[in-house]
Structure 1
């Protein structure tokens, strides 16, 4: 990947106000502990996940975030829209409508979508992507009514079979561009797209269309753990050039929050407050 757009000006040091800590980075913390820890470290924004929010209570979580002065930058996640079984598809649509409503209640305008993998026995990637498009036709108007944008997140191709048939920003934009930009856009997650030499061009494309709805950071480290899902690295520990990606998204017009979203059992085994502090430090140094 090229390191910066032509004639790019030097990157300024990021203020901590641009940092959003995704809840999964410190999943060992309860929601009240997360709010307290962010206040202690001067972190003003978080990305939340549905399961812990539902457990704590959506309205209760919204009140906690407001009282702590924390902006909710995104809710993870909706999606999983590739089933061929009609009853399963209906359940998925209902669940995604609920996710949209939860996002609106939390005060975030961005619901992250992970498309879903191949149904059992299927090898039809294109057909699975079309089913995602069909579902978006139903969900996008509901999201607009609630003031929520749907942000399609492409995942690394190693997840195409079981988790996400949308593997590149190009594929995500091909889906998003069937809908108005204020309804459907994309997530640029460095962990998933750092390897793709088409990513710079597609980031520019997304920015040109007003579809850069979220920007997330995690590093690529090896060896990958068994199951691979929990292999994201702390910023600065792996192969990703975060400043290059920031240069690209800012040149494409993105000036929003930057979420650090790391799934890593070693981080989860540590003191959550310590991980928050380290994440803020790494953000200042590497983002």
Structure 2
């Protein structure tokens, strides 16, 4: 099986050192599509990251991450917009398929989730013309409701797609199985996103039972309860033909040698995805 449809999010192999060494590890396993995090790009410098990507024919299925729009005051919201503009510039330089947005939760001390959602909408509306000019689609990643307070106050595909419809062209969603597998409207909303060309990225891992840590206990594909083959059929039926991006935050897997992690990823991609 070709690995053209496989992408590695660098959260999965963050123990692997620098941006350059993680790229080399992926290439050694025949993987040529990645999704790095901005701090990993900053660690080596944007110009050097661009050189490595171009020299090796690397594709970025996304750049992680922008977002975190809500803030307690106007200056905080302005700072978020400026940081997101820099993220757009970095994604453009790296020719990323999209900029993934973890939109942010409630500002410190707030109990107003409606207000936080309005700050997300306002922030994206201001960022969108800049992103469109740079040719970078903005991909909202709805996160599991557990993260509504601190990371993302958009938690379902329907919520996220409603906002995309309101904002218009240049927006879409990053569909992560870890965050949406449970949604009773999943099939309907995936089909809706596909109809409108709004599926910008697709992240995979697995949900373990029990889950010991809500952030850092994601499972390797096949070790949990998500119907990954069924999910893939559903998303491809909706028209998405991009790579499956393996994003695993895990105390377990992040403690293992990178070659072991990538070998396992490739094997599971071929057998259970």
TM-score of the two chains, using structure 1 as the length reference: 0.92
Paired residue for 2:41, among 50, 53, 56?
A: 53
How far 1:151 moved relative to its partner? 0.1
Poorly superposed stretches of 4+, deviation over 6 Å: none
Asked if the contact 2:117/2:154 (under 8 Å) is kept, the reply is yes
Alignment partner of 1:145 is 2:133: yes
How far 1:174 moved relative to its partner? 1.1
**What does the per-residue CA deviation read over 1:225-246, in whole Å, with 9 as the maximum and x for residues that have no partner?**
34x2112111100011111111
Superposition pairs of residues 106-125 of structure 1, within 5 angstroms = 106-125=94-113
**What does the per-residue CA deviation read over 1:90-142, in whole Å, with 9 as the maximum and x for residues that have no partner?**
00000000000000011113000011011123222222111111111110110
Alpha-carbon distance in structure 2 between the residues aligned to 1:246 and 1:252:
10
Q: CA RMSD in A?
A: 1.2
Q: What residue ranges of structure 1 are gaps of 5+ in the alignment?
A: 1-13
Alignment partner of 1:23 is 2:13: no
Q: What residue ranges of structure 2 are gaps of 5+ in the alignment?
A: none
Alignment partner of 1:190 is 2:190: no
Paired residue for 1:278, among 261, 264, 267?
A: 264
How far 1:269 moved relative to its partner? 1.0
Asked if the contact 2:72/2:108 (under 8 Å) is kept, the reply is no
Asked if the contact 1:78/1:113 (under 8 Å) is kept, the reply is yes
Alpha-carbon distance in structure 2 between the residues aligned to 1:168 and 1:218:
18
How far 1:180 moved relative to its partner? 2.5
How far 1:73 moved relative to its partner? 1.2
Alignment partner of 1:256 is 2:258: no
Higher relative contact order (CA 8 A, sep 6+): 1
